[in-house]
Amino acid sequence: MASSSHSSNFPCAACKFLRRKCMPDCVFAPYFPPEEPQKFINVHKIFGASNVSKLINEVAPHQREDAVNSLAYEAEARLKDPVYGCVGAISILQRQVLRLQRELDAIHADLIRYATATCSCNEMPPPMGRTCFHHNSSGNIYYPNPHWNEPYEGNGRSDGGSL
């Protein structure tokens, strides 16, 4: 949460941790208030202050707060789970999505059977259509580039690790 009021007397969490003077144009000050020191500590431990600074500068000003918050989330997740980080949650959620899709397919099949059996009376409404989600060829969702490494799905897994 960006601090609305910034004063040079009160260094931001970043400058306080780095033990440096918090300048008025400090890039970290709006997003790492002194009341939340752990936020910057986590981010610095995983990504490093320089990297975070570069990432903030690459993003539009109105999106920087969201970017910092997402980095803070990923850093905290990586500290809790050094092996998988936030990717573990993605894998679990993807499996849940696949399971729900399979269950929905089975229910749709049952619905079509019943609809076919009762189609003579023509009293029942037709089965509902499926909600259209964007799928790629492997059935996974929201993968920006199938050529990149994908979390524990399809052919990308050479090892036997799993959550």
Contacting positions for other proteins (CB under 8 A): 46-48, 50-51, 54-55, 58-59, 63, 66-67, 69-71, 73-74, 78, 82-90, 93-94, 96-97, 100-101, 103-104, 107-108, 110-111, 114-115, 117-118, 121, 123-125, 127-128, 130-131, 133, 141-142, 144-145, 148-152, 156, 158-159, 161
Nearer to other proteins, 21 or 62 (CB): 62
Tokens representing residue 17 in the block: 């941790």
Nearer to other proteins, 24 or 160 (CB): 160
All residues at 6 or more sequence positions from 38 whose CB lies less than 8 Å from its CB, including other chains = none
Q: Which long-range contacts (CB under 8 A, 24 or more apart) does 54-57 make?
A: 56/27, 56/28, 56/31, 57/27
CB of 147 to other proteins, least distance (A): 10
Residue 93 CA: distances (Å) to CA of 83, 88, 161? 17, 9, 17
Nearer to other proteins, 22 or 71 (CB): 71
CB of 86 to other proteins, least distance (A): 5
CB of 114 to other proteins, least distance (A): 4
Tokens representing residue 133 in the block: 């989600």
H or E element in which residue 45 lies: helix 37-46
Tokens representing residue 77 in the block: 């997740």
CB of 24 to other proteins, least distance (A): 25
